[in-house]
Chains A and B, each alone.
Chain A
Amino acid sequence: QLQLRESGPGLVKPSETLSLACSVSGGSISSSPTTYYWAWIRQPPGKGLEWIGSIHSGGNTYYSSSLRSRVAISVDSSKNQFTLTLTSVTAADTATYYCARQTWTSVGFFDSWGQGTLVNVSS
């Protein structure tokens, strides 16, 4: 059974860089079919879901237009994980960050999710 788990600091100072990793078990990122992408989604406290970006093990990436200038997603196949980097963070980036597997068919739905990790941006 596929499992995803986010890890990273729970507190980041304003203007600094947020970095999170998502470890995948029960399946291989690098051997995933072209129909599978790996995504980051966030949820500010008490608010809705926002898609951040998606990556395929082959390197194709897609980012939210509102975050594109500050975000990067990469894959580390040797560790079977993918990472999120968000630069120049502000309080508006405070959220629970989820990693998820995305099936690239139909409307590109997210069928497996990590438990989420809360990141606070504060000095």
Chain B
Amino acid sequence: EIVLTQSPGTLSLSPGERATLSCRASQTLSSNAAWYQQKPGQAPRLLTYGTSSRAPGVPDRFSGSGSGADFTLTIAGLEPEDFAVYYCQHLGSAVTWTFGPGTKVEI
């Protein structure tokens, strides 16, 4: 089974700064990952998927990219509402799915 590792565990930044979140797969069955945002007490929300697609309604400051087994979520200019936990998601095997442990973006 594929294991996802996210780094850093916590990212301390200020509004307006750029956030770069990393996700590495122990092996890969696809060249991309999906990314989710979760705020306290809320369900996760899909942000990006595929090579560089954003879910409907997601601001264009969020962008996903990937190369081999390494995937990146970039937030270009943090807004106050962006402080949350972010999870990457990938195939766990041919027909299972797995999430990374999460990165907390805090002020």
Interface residues of A (CB under 8 A from B): 48-51, 54, 62-65, 98, 102-103, 105-111, 113-116
A-B residue pairs, 6 tightest by C-beta: A109-B34, A113-B43, A49-B99, A109-B49, A106-B50, A51-B97
Q: How many residues of B contact A (CB 8 A)?
A: 28
Q: Is the CB of A107 within 8 A of B96?
A: no
Instruction: Contact check, B30 vs A107: say whether CB atoms are below 8 A apart.
Output: yes
Contacts of B36 in A (CB 8 A): 49, 110
Residues of A near B1 (CB, < 8 A) are: 65
Bound complex: CA of A106 vs CA of B50, how far in Å? 6
| A107 and B43 contacting across the interface, CB-CB below 8 Å | no
B107: chain A residues within 8 A (beta carbon): none
Among candidates A51, A63, A65, A115, residue contacting B43 with C-beta atoms closer than 8 Å? A115
Question: With A49-B87, A51-B92 given, is the CB distance from A113 to B44 under 8 Å?
Answer: yes
Decide if A49 touches B44 in the complex (CB within 8 Å). Answer: yes
- Counting chain B CB atoms within 10 Å of each CB, the highest count among A65, A98, A106, A111 belongs to A106
Cβ of B105 under 8 Å from chain A: no
Q: Point out the residue from B43, B90, B93, B98 that lies within 8 Å of A116, measured CB to CB.
A: B43
Complex CA–CA separation, A79 to B64 (angstroms): 37
**18 interchain pairs, CB-CB under 8 A:** A48-B99, A48-B102, A49-B44, A51-B98, A62-B95, A65-B96, A98-B43, A98-B44, A103-B49, A106-B34, A107-B49, A107-B50, A107-B90, A109-B34, A109-B89, A110-B34, A111-B49, A111-B55
Which A residues lie within 8 Å of B46 (CB)? 109-111
B32 at the interface (CB under 8 A from A): yes
Question: Bound complex: CA of A113 vs CA of B97, how far in Å?
Answer: 16
Residue in chain A with minimal CB distance to B35: A109
Inter-chain pairs besides A49-B102, A108-B91, A109-B34, 18 sampled, C-beta below 8 Å: A48-B87, A48-B101, A51-B96, A51-B98, A54-B97, A64-B92, A64-B96, A98-B44, A106-B30, A106-B32, A106-B50, A107-B33, A107-B34, A108-B97, A110-B36, A110-B44, A113-B43, A115-B42
